[in-house]
Structure 1
Amino acid sequence: MTNTSTSPHRAARAPRRDAAENRIAILDAAISELNHNPDASLETIASAAGLSRRSIYGHFSTRDELVAELNDRGIARVTAALAPIRHDDARVALALVGARLWSEVEDVRVTAQLAIRGPRREIVAEGLDPVRRGVLAIVEQGVAAGQLRTDIEPRTLARLIEGAALSVLDEAVRDDISHGEGHRLVILVALSTAGLSWREAAELIDASPELALEAQPPASSRLSERSAGARP
């Protein structure tokens, strides 16, 4: 007689394809809706995803639960994008951090600002700790090589650079600056905070092809696009 009982050691069954795709559709819709209205409800997000209210509650019991998953995915995306950055010139490395960071958050600037400044900011800050350690390592490299300012302790300088970069995000939300303008601005403020004059920063950008907007890896916050790009 066949034993039809479920073994406790059997691997959990993967979700059905339609359930997985629905979840991605919900997350993509949330990215879009929350970027236009940070107070968008689950019902609004469900409608944008082409799903019923009942369907979205099958994936997320509360709006906070949905926002938390978006935050976690965003943290993972930013961390992965910045992790490979290495350069002998700390000034270029620092500029690359700014450029890659902007590429990752530019199309979700409102929700990115909410994640960093909002009620989950401490959790988000903890998740971004690897990024902060990477920036600190670049600053220490630059200070030791005489490429960055030496009148401020490296750990403090790294925090000031982070604050300067986040101020660009705030300005981008306030004034809806363009992708190209934000790209150049975040590099300029990071380098200026690090000790370069505005002329030196501009010359470095113009002399470093890897800092060009077109040289940055494509980034997409939409999970459906990222999944499609990963398919053979």
Structure 2
Amino acid sequence: MTTRAPRRDAVENRAGILDAARTALASDPHASVDAIARSAGLSRRTLYGHFDDRDALIRELIANGAQRFNAIAESVTDADARLALARLTALLWQEAAHVQVAAALALDEAHVEHTAEALAPLRRTVANLARRGQDDGSFRTDLAAPTLARLIEEMARTVVARTDADSPGAANVAVRTVLSIAGLSWRETDALLAAHPEFVAAETGA
């Protein structure tokens, strides 16, 4: 049996709902389905034709953001675990700044389980980096690799949640914080960033 492709207007309506949801939730994280539908120029009934409920809509926003984060994780191929972690953090920070709504929703405790599942490829990358860094002696070894990876994740969540993405030096703070948790001293981080200024160059316009 051949599956019929969605009609073009249905695809456009769904994309419009997602865009409207990002806009509405950016202004009000608790925006209702009615507010999102109005923002999309659609009826509540039409919105429910695409999403069963508000949570389903939010889950798709998170999934879309997760796909972008996972693609970034796959793109980081530095052999040096320190460089890989710094690059991954900088790139993820830049992406989070562009999709702040999805990032904020992903950090909401109500969606942690779904977020963890959607970000499984990224989490595997962080776990592998923690193990590699410990094996080559560049990361702290007083903690088991899975514990270190979890600490890195939690610190990254805290930085994203508590730092204004538009503030000067935000990416610098994110990279330095994550490297500190991994076990680098501030002097080691200074040297790394001096040798690779591209990690935080985007926010300074360099």
Deviations, residues 146-174 of structure 1 (Å, cap 9, x unaligned): 212222222211111111111111212xx
Tell me the residue number matched to 2:109.
Answer: 118
| Secondary structure class of the residue paired with 1:83 | helix
Matches within 5 A, 1:218-229: none
Matches within 5 A, 1:1-232: 9=1, 11-172=2-163, 176-178=164-166, 181-214=169-202
Deviation at 1:111, TM superposition (A): 4.0
Contact 1:116/1:125, CA 8 A, preserved across alignment? no
**Matched residues in 1 for 2:108 and 2:19: separation?**
22
Q: Which runs of 4+ in 1 moved over 6 A?
A: none
CA RMSD after TM alignment:
2.0
**Matched residues in 1 for 2:67 and 2:139: separation?**
29
- Show structure 1 runs of 5+ residues with no match: 1-8, 216-232
Name the TM-score, length of structure 2 as normaliser. Answer: 0.89
- Show structure 2 runs of 5+ residues with no match: none
Deviation at 1:94, TM superposition (A): 0.4
Name the TM-score, length of structure 1 as normaliser. Answer: 0.80
Higher relative contact order (CA 8 A, sep 6+): 1
Contact 1:60/1:66, CA 8 A, preserved across alignment? yes
Bigger Cα displacement from structure 2, 196-205 vs 82-91: 196-205
Percent identity (aligned): 44
Q: 1:152 to 1:118 in 2, by over 3 A?
A: closer
Contact 1:115/1:124, CA 8 A, preserved across alignment? yes
Deviations, residues 3-54 of structure 1 (Å, cap 9, x unaligned): xxxxxx1x22212212211110110111121122111011111221222333
Q: 1:61 to 1:126 in 2, by over 3 A?
A: closer
**Matched residues in 2 for 1:88 and 1:58: separation?**
47
| Structure showing the higher helix proportion among its residues | 2
Report how many aligned residue pairs link the two structures.
Answer: 203
Tell me the residue number matched to 1:219.
Answer: none
Letter matched to residue 198 of structure 1: W
Contact 1:106/1:179, CA 8 A, preserved across alignment? no
**Matched residues in 2 for 1:121 and 1:204: separation?**
32
| Secondary structure class of the residue paired with 2:110 | coil
**Matched residues in 1 for 2:201 and 2:16: separation?**
29
Contact 1:148/1:194, CA 8 A, preserved across alignment? yes
Contact 1:38/1:111, CA 8 A, preserved across alignment? no
Deviations, residues 35-74 of structure 1 (Å, cap 9, x unaligned): 2211101111122122233322221231112112112222
Look at both structures and tell me which one has the larger radius of gyration over its CA atoms. 1
